[in-house]
Amino acid sequence: MERRFGGVVLEVMRGDITEMETDAIVNAANNRLWMGAGVAGAIKRKGGKGIEEEAVSKGPISVGEAVVTGAGRLRAKYVIHAAGMGQDLATDRNKIAAYTKASLRRADEEGMRSISFPAIGTGVGGFPIDEAALVMVESVLSYIRGGTGIRLVRFTLFDDETRKAFERAVEYAGG
């Protein structure tokens, strides 16, 4: 499904984020930027360990911040590593909002026009999917109201349950 908000399309789809051809994909990272399991592990396996090496060289960063690296062998041009948790592996609503907006800021700073997000914080972070979807969608809409060069924000979700949660969040946010 997709919905337009001003000049920006929000798209929700089921898929493999490592296959996206958007300018950037977002990696759900820890503040040390090590790439272990989940989305990070999939990105590292498919894109190459050079992505992690470049990320780690830019860290550690504060939880709620993000850094940009190349994308190795991935179809995307860049990976935005959004630190959603520290070494405690815990996340919350405020952290999800902060790193969603930080990812969008990094994309704008680099002149990117498209970005793909996974459901950050719902795997290792254990945050409820429905709530994460609402926080992420609200954060994207809040960010784009301030003006952006980004034209496509895609939520690329691994399973149907998560996809449906994000579709509900986009419908709710759109009124």
Q: Give the residue among 149, 152, 140 at the shortest CA–CA distance from 116.
A: 152
Question: Does the pTM of the predicted model rise above 0.85?
Answer: yes
CATH number, domain with residue 40: 3.40.220.10
Residue 142 belongs to domain spanning: 2-174
What is the spatial distance between Cα 93 and Cα 27, in angstroms, rounded to a whole number? 18
104 in Cβ contact with 150 (< 8 Å): yes
Domain count, the chain: 1
The tens digit of pLDDT for each residue in 106-164 reads 999 999 999 999 998 887 777 899 999 999 999 999 999 999 999 999 999 999 999 99
What is the spatial distance between Cα 103 and Cα 123, in angstroms, rounded to a whole number? 18
The tens digit of pLDDT for each residue in 24-52 reads 999 988 889 999 888 889 999 999 999 99
